[in-house]
Structure 1
Amino acid sequence: MPRALLTDGERDAIRGDEMDESTRSSHRSRIRKKLNERMGEDADLLRRHEPELFNLLHEQVCEKVYDQRIAELEARIDELEGRLDEG
C-alpha cells in the first residue's frame, strides 16, 4: 500500500506495537522532523500550484478532525442536558 505521511514502521510505533524503545524513539523523531520541516512547505506548495489537491489535503486532515470534535461536543452537550433534566 502506498504511504501518505507515515511509513509502516512509524505507524507501528505510534500504535504502540511491540518494538524496543530506541526504535520507537527513532520513528517518533523522524515523524517530528517531517512535520516540522516539510509538512508546511508541502502544503504551501499544493496550495499555490495545485489548489484542488490542497483542498483534498485540507479535507482529509482538518475537516475530519473538526467533524469528529463536533460529534464529541454534541455527545457531551446531550449528556449535560440529560443531567440538567434529571436535576
Structure 2
Amino acid sequence: MSYQAKTNWTFHDPVTEYDINRWEQGIADAHTQIAELTADVSNLKTRMNTLESTLPDGFTRNNFNDDLSTVSSITVLRGFYNEAQSRLEV
C-alpha cells in the first residue's frame, strides 16, 4: 500500500491508532525503498566501473597510430580532419 498523507490536519483533530500505524508504515516503506535504491546504485556503479575498465585509455583518448604503409586500399566511412592536431580522425 502506498503512503497516504493527510495534509488537512486541524488543531483539534484526534490522532488515532490508524494515523500512527499509517505513519509507521510510511517510514518502514521509505526505508525499504532506500535500501533497494542503494543496492541498485551500487550495482550500476559496479557495472559502470567494469565497462570503463574495458575501454583502453578511456576509449575517447585511445591513440591508434598507423602509417598505413601496408594497406593497399581503404574505405573511410566516417571521420574528420582535426586541424588543431593536423590529423585525420576516423
Give me the TM-score of the superposition, normalised by structure 1.
0.39
Highest Rg: 1 or 2? 2
Higher strand content, 1 or 2: 2
